[in-house]
Amino acid sequence: MNHVTSRFDARDSQELETGLEAARAALAENRCIVMPTDTVYGIAADAFSAQAVATLLAAKGRGRSMPPPVLIPQAATLDGLAADIPDFARELAARFWPGALTLILHAQPSLTWDLGETRGTVALRVPDDEIARDLLKLTGPLAVSSANRTGRPAADTAEAAFDQLGETVEVYLEAGPRPVSGDALGSTIIDCTLTPPRVVRAGALSLELLRGVVPELLDADGRPDPATANESEAPEAGTAEAPDAAESADGEVDASAATDASTQTAAEVARVPEETADASDNHDADQAETSPAAESEAPADPGASQDATSKQSPPQGEDAAGESARSS
């Protein structure tokens, strides 16, 4: 059956309601949609559908080595998708979600999803965008990357996304320019699977702000805050290897790489920063969301219709094939 691309003006309350339902239906059929995030626009797919994630990656022109991050509607979803969550990660989520922060964590081993080559990690973010969160409450976690072809600028409107992605996407939700104000920066990505944790991509949230919550946080070069540690005790830059996660949705961002909504693995981001739609990651739509992109959310909402745990399968003693993790 042929599918026709539909576009909705989400600035109109009636069209928004119709558009959200159309997006929900398209995602349920393993198709992709374009949505606004707090960073840039993101292309989204059902995080639990390998077919849908493959369609997303093909639309962007990228392979499985760059898995998208996963955007969630609220911090309460965190425990359904991640395991062995350190206290500092919870503190960061409590302080900066919803917002431009993507956290790379160990994925729940019982989840049945395939985001790409994630090596058992997932990049999570709650976007600071009401329309994005309303959709996430209808659908559950979404794999989100910046809505652009790899190597091209991140889209700041749904129209700009259509110019690049065309009919590979079934539904476009137009909500005006993103970000609403300020520069299109991707989400900051932190690898929380390392001890101490480390920034793997600089973004909208400054290192100083983050260290106000986690003083031991290493910068992108693997260096501690000189105010709290002696340089002689710091690990050499580049010695801490981050496990692969997905890229920001963020939305979680690729300017090419710096503005893709969470679209790289953590290890790749550590080598060559890219955003993540981290949302967006030049804007993570998590811009270059680097882990499943993304893309990060509001206080727990009992109205969330799809709890992450509802898609878990009985523990099988091994990681699901594509556990992973943009700016949006």
Q: What pLDDT score does 173 carry?
A: 98
Of all helices (H) and strands (E), which one includes residue 201? strand 198-201
Low-confidence ranges of the chain (pLDDT < 50): 1, 232, 234-328
Q: What pLDDT score does 279 carry?
A: 39
Q: Give the residues across from 182 on adjacent strands.
A: none
Q: What pLDDT score does 320 carry?
A: 27
Q: Give the residues across from 31 on adjacent strands.
A: none
Tell me how far the alpha carbon of residue 113 is from its chain's centroid: 15
Q: Each residue of 152-169: pLDDT tens digit?
A: 998 999 999 999 999 999
Find where tokens 């745990």 sit: 309
Q: What pLDDT score does 99 carry?
A: 96
Q: What pLDDT score does 186 carry?
A: 82
Is the separation of the CB atoms in 294 and 249 below 8 Å? Answer: yes
User: Domains of the chain: which residue ranges?
Assistant: 6-302
Distance (Å, whole) CA 247 – CA 273:
10
Q: What pLDDT score does 100 carry?
A: 94
Q: For 6-302, which CATH superfamily applies?
A: DHBP synthase (3.90.870.10)
Is the separation of the CB atoms in 286 and 188 below 8 Å? Answer: no
Distance (Å, whole) CA 325 – CA 313:
19
Q: What pLDDT score does 143 carry?
A: 98
Q: What pLDDT score does 188 carry?
A: 95
Q: Each residue of 226-259: pLDDT tens digit?
A: 987 665 454 444 444 444 444 444 443 332 333 3
Q: What pLDDT score does 233 carry?
A: 53
Q: What pLDDT score does 281 carry?
A: 39
Q: What pLDDT score does 65 carry?
A: 87
Q: What pLDDT score does 317 carry?
A: 31
Distance (Å, whole) CA 325 – CA 303:
25
Q: What pLDDT score does 229 carry?
A: 65
Region of residue 195 (left: phi > 0; alpha: psi -120 to 50; beta: else): beta
What letter would DSSP give residue 75?
G
Q: What's the pTM? A: 0.74
Other CB atoms closer than 10 Å to residue 7's CB: what's the count? 17
To the nearest 10 degrees (0 to 180), the angle between helices 13-28 and 130-139 is 40
